[in-house]
Amino acid sequence: MDMNMYATRKTIAQGIMDLGLMCANASQLKYVLINANQHRYFQVTVSLIVISILMQIIVGIMFIALGRLNINYGHDRRRADMMNNASVIGK
């Protein structure tokens, strides 16, 4: 079993799930913006949704960089491990 192929597929699957979460956040942001006058905590909700979308973009960029690494090499394995840990914290 090629561990690099497994890691690449896992990263792609995580990226697709992150894209689905970002679409849900964009839909919630649209709903809040449309119903701004009826929403009690408008500023707080919008700021939290925007922060969530920005964090998802950062994690998505990390997934792209992570997918390009070859974990069969020692130097790439260490970087991939650190980036994987950071992406888990960012999610």
**pLDDT tens, N- to C-terminus, the chain (91 residues):** 566 777 777 777 877 888 888 899 999 999 999 988 888 888 999 999 999 899 888 888 887 887 777 777 778 878 887 887 787 777 6
Q: Say if residues 46 and 29 touch (Cβ distance below 8 Å).
A: yes
Distance of CA 17 to the CA centre of its chain: 8
pTM here is: 0.71
Using the structure block, give the residue that is written with the tokens 């130097």: 75
Range list of H helices, the chain: 3-34, 42-67, 74-90
> How many structural domains are present in the chain?
1
Task: Fill in the DSSP letter of residue 2.
Answer: -
**Domain limits at 40?**
3-90
Q: Are residues 45 and 39 in contact, defined by beta-carbon separation less than 8 angstroms?
A: yes
